[in-house]
Amino acid sequence: MEVPSLQGLGLETGVLTKEKQKEIAKRGQSLTIGVPKEASPDERRVAMAPAGVAMLVANGHNVLIGEGAGSGANFSDTEYADAGAEIVASASQLYSQASLIVKVGPPTAEEVALLQERQVLISALHLGNTSPDFLRKAIELGVTGLGFEFIRDSDGSLPIVRMMHEIMGSMAVQIAARYLESGEDGRGIMLGGISGVPPSNVVILGAGVIGEWAARTALGFGAHVIVLDNDLGALRSMEHYLGRGITTAMATPQYISQALLTADVVIGAMMSAGNRAPVVVTEDMVASMRDGSVIVDTMIDQGGCIETSQPTTHSDPIMRRHGVIHYAVPNMPSNAARTATYALTNVLVPYVLKIGDAASVNEALWMDVGLRNGTYVYRKHLTKKSLASMFGIPHRDIELLIASGI
């Protein structure tokens, strides 16, 4: 039986209220993101591809691109403009207007002078070449500095480092193959050999990402591959994924010395995350190698893991010590600039969006472990113990700084 007093009472007019919902203010901030043309010699990469710019603009951010910034990677200013970026002619104008700078290489001395107070800087740091003057300047300005080498997610991975290291591992073997040729005054041999002629010996120091991709590429050439590392678990993992076609051994001085006696190629890939690379090959070991053999030290931007290595450039890439060809270009992926730029974009854009989605940089660092781990300078303090030890600068724990609001 229906209750008479409720007959004909519609939900829209009787039961539901007519109050208008209050709009909730959108969280986050609109960033002005500067992507300068790289000033370092022979650096062809750019930190952001046009597709990444379009994504940032679609999320309400302003993007400033240095004029000609993408030319080395074959991205035109027109492509960036079509993606919504503003093309800026001078570096000084870009730095003065941007709240956040994203670049590939560490700032040059000229770029350090352009940094603004409380600016956010995301770039590589290159631990082997970092200067205390740069760190002190960043501290003085209250810059929030995030280094590619330090950005580590909750699963322990280093996403930006990994992307670049995949490229470096593959390129290291391709480079070594070229310098083994007679035209480059190498030993005049092929990596893979041919029928009736044995393959060359490739010794890879380090079973990390660079070592893995170097081993994959060397196996593809048909070379005999030896991988040495002090981490037995990493060696087991490499054998699991690449099969027993590779030979593994612990990276003791005895094993390294023995392997180098017959090595045609040595790939230096021993790293210590967030620290200078360990030197595992001494000058005496290099002197024992055969004339015309090739060393590619992929860790030169972290100081190098071969004692005889010295930084070289793409325009003058090799040097010889004890008859051995040394290739030690810090920005090796620059020679695959377009691939490397896309790789950087894939990783960097989500991090920049997280900063923009937060109400402040402080909140972004607190909410995201990758950004927090990546910070080496914050609120006028150095936050990395490894850098403090290298340069004798006091440091503070990043989590305490964020929580305290100092």
Residue positions annotated with a catalytic role: 126, 301
* Start-to-end C-alpha separation, the chain: 69
The phi-psi region of residue 243 (left if phi > 0; otherwise alpha if psi is between -120 and 50; otherwise beta) is left
Give 33's strand partners. 63, 100
d(CA 295, CA 324): 7
d(CA 70, CA 53): 12
d(CA 36, CA 87): 10
Helices 337-357 and 159-179: angle between axes, nearest 10 degrees:
170
Give the burial string for 220-243 (b: 16+ CB within 10 Å, else e).
ebebbbbbbbeeeebbeebbeebe
d(CA 106, CA 104): 7
For residue 137, what are its two tokens? 């300047």
Please write down the HEC assignment for all residues of 320-378: EECCEEEECCCCHHHHHHHHHHHHHHHHHHHHHHHHHHCCCHHHHHHHCHHHHHHEEEE
Dihedral angle sign, alpha carbons of residues 13, 15, 19, 20? negative
Half-sphere exposure of 152 (CA within 13 A, CB side): 9
Residue of 363, 362, 384 whose CA lies nearest to 373: 384
For the chain, helix, strand, coil in percent to 5 are 40, 15, 45
375-378 vs 381-382, strand pairing mode: antiparallel
